[in-house]
Structure 1
Amino acid sequence: YTKIDSSFERNRIMFGAPGTGKSFNLNEDAKKLLGNNYETNLERVTFHPDYSFANFVGTYKPVPIKDNGKDSITYAYVPGPFMRVYVKALKNSRTNLIQPFLLLIEEINRANVAAVFGDIFQLLDRGFDNVSEYPIHASEDIKNYLANELGGKPSDYSRLKIPDNMFIWASMNSADQGVFPMDTAFKRRWSFTYLGIDDGDKEIRGKYVYLGGKEKQKIEWNSLRKAINEFLANENINEDKQLGPYFISKNILIVDTDEIDSDTFCEVFKHKVLMYLFEDVARQKRSKLFANSKFGYTRYSKICKAFDEQGIEIFHNDIQADVIRIESISSELDNNLVHMDN
């Protein structure tokens, strides 16, 4: 118990639809938490379906060494990201300059968390002092490793707790295919922060792009995104499968002018947005979503070809109407301002 003070939760999961900025927001909070020690006190790991307890905590692995000048192999305990951050936090807890340490897990539900955390799961239950309330018994491998790293005898480390200066944060997108469900016992040990579908869209408001091959359409990405989301919502498709503001990356959307580069945007829109809608979220709604595609809706390549020529006119009339209505309101406001000036 280091008595370190922080307004941030120790165990925290940020979740929301794809493109809402989960990783970005966690990273910004990490900078606030760690300050000048951001580079040294942060470790980031991405979970995947084959990720295991051995990867996360540590295990014995073959390690190359020099034996009398010759290359040889021995076995040693190799720590995973959890153990590396854990040791750093414990070492720091013995000093007079207490610092926070952060383990940041991307895509936490893309692995089987019950298997990855193993008995470490018990340590996530923290008391009022933000130290693990219930200790676990360490394996002989871990006891020996901690003794080598922290000093003392292996028996000194038979019972483990997470110190209050160690933070564990994660991002989660429940819309991803092939994700592993989390049980209630695991989830209740975390503080969940939800990013809404329109949270953080301030930076992309008013960013326009020209679409369509024959008749250029000037549309706002944010209004098109919202129109598609409204259509999906009306088709009873959950919010966690809809389009966040940054489903298309920031470096394309946030430019010095109000106009987004058309060629770059269109390529990304076809290969990210249209692919996502066609293959995943609107698989059962293709005929309705792409109702006006002049080349049909049964093949992704044909939808892309239609988009090159028609722009947003490939979509259902309701989507087109929503985008046009937003633009007409903008035009009407501009006309009123001109009239007032005169």
Structure 2
Amino acid sequence: MKGVLLVNLGSPDSPTAKDVKPYLDEFLMDERVIDVPKILRNILVRGIILQTRPKRSAKAYKKIWWEEGSPLIVISEHFAVKVRAQTDLPIALGMRYGSMSIRKAFQELADQGVDEVLLVPLYPHYAMSSYETVVVKALEEQQKHFPSIKVTTLPAFYHNPDYIRVLSRSIAEGLEDFDYDHVLFSYHGIPERHIRKSDPTRFHCKIDGSCCKVNSVAHHTCYRHQCYKTTDLVVEALGLPQDKVSTSFQSRLAGDPWLKPYTDYEFERLAKEGKKRLIVVTPAFVSDCLETLEEIAMEGKEQFEEAGGEHYKHIPCLNERDDWVALMASWIRDWQTEHILPV
């Protein structure tokens, strides 16, 4: 019997330092998030970051927390319910980090007699710290606790034509009735070394502004290339003026070089260049979360306006849009009936 396992990032159980701390510990101790030797990661995370970060993060979570709970969790649950209604397969929802674990989701499917699972990392792009860690963790749980279950993984869908149509439609709706000066595509940031580590050729990715344009097998696992490709495809689909669009990367840690340009620097630069009306989209996520709702929608607005900008708009992620739900359901049905996955 077939079933589907949807996996998103995760969330603390409440916007309190007590619940945020173990969540951050699990997240930051992931070797694919902070990829340094475990002893150094332990010192950095448990000896330094977790001494102060939980309180700050809890304050940020409180700013965006919904009455029903964590926005990411609530949105993901609504999405799963809607997808389930359009398919005839058991569908479980798990999170890479937090109490809604991947293991619990596997167990939910196993209890229904499922022995073949379509694993769906809810990330459009491939990155060590998002897509890859979900796949690795899911396979670890499957091999250790559910060896009789066969797992097939949905590939990164950042350039799938149907996905681009849905994403473009959502952005087009956000552009309506807003006379923008600029559209900023802001993606989650990662360290530059992650790009090089993910390069199977070990020589193609140079992060020099040109390697992403030269065709290579490295693009299958190159987050930077895939982000720029998503921007290009949406710009083409919507006919956006090239001089009114740019790409940037948000959420970095101090110490190492991360993908550039940095989103917060772009807020200041664009405002000082006279861009008064800014629209920001965050296509690295399919569900709004702390990073989009607080860092971009709230802090980003403040940064842009403090630098001289006047009108700021963040376009929501796809969340539980009907066309996004229908697309995911169609991918699941294709896998169910013909073992066809999106490319």
TM-score bucket (shorter structure): under 0.3
Normalization by structure 1: what TM-score? 0.22
Of structures 1 and 2, the larger Rg is shown by 1
Normalization by structure 2: what TM-score? 0.21
